[in-house]
Amino acid sequence: MRLPLNAASRLWGQLNNIDLPLWAREPLCSLFVRLFHCDMSEAAVTDLRHYNNIGELFRRQLRPDSRPVDQKCPLVCLVTLLFFCLF
């Protein structure tokens, strides 16, 4: 039996783009930060009330000096990857 990963991914994306009321932003975004080990010290805006929804927090801007790129390297991947294995 296959897991419905496409449907789950779409649902997760829709839930993350629901705008949160101001009173709920800090507690819910804080939960997301803890669950997914987000380093908010790298964020351009560290105030969690700034993010209207979890999707904005996920796609947050980083400070220019937070992840310097090696100028001598001919090829750079600007994506942070985390692999999950499902059995």
Domain boundaries, the chain: 21-61
55-71 pLDDT per residue, tens: 999 999 999 888 887 78
Closest CA to 57 of 74, 77, 36, 75: 36
Model confidence at 87: pLDDT above 50: no
Question: Is the distance from CB of 19 to CB of 52 less than 8 angstroms?
Answer: yes
**How far is Cα 20 from Cα 22, in angstroms, rounded to an integer?**
6
Taking every pair of Cα atoms in the chain, the longest distance, rounded to a whole number of angstroms, is 48
Instruction: Give the pLDDT band (50/70/90) at residue 34.
Output: very high
Question: Is the distance from CB of 45 to CB of 63 less than 8 angstroms?
Answer: no
Mean pLDDT calculated for residue range 23-30: 96
Mean pLDDT calculated for residue range 12-34: 95
Instruction: Give the pLDDT band (50/70/90) at residue 78.
Output: low
**How far is Cα 37 from Cα 33, in angstroms, rounded to an integer?**
6
Mean pLDDT calculated for residue range 27-44: 95
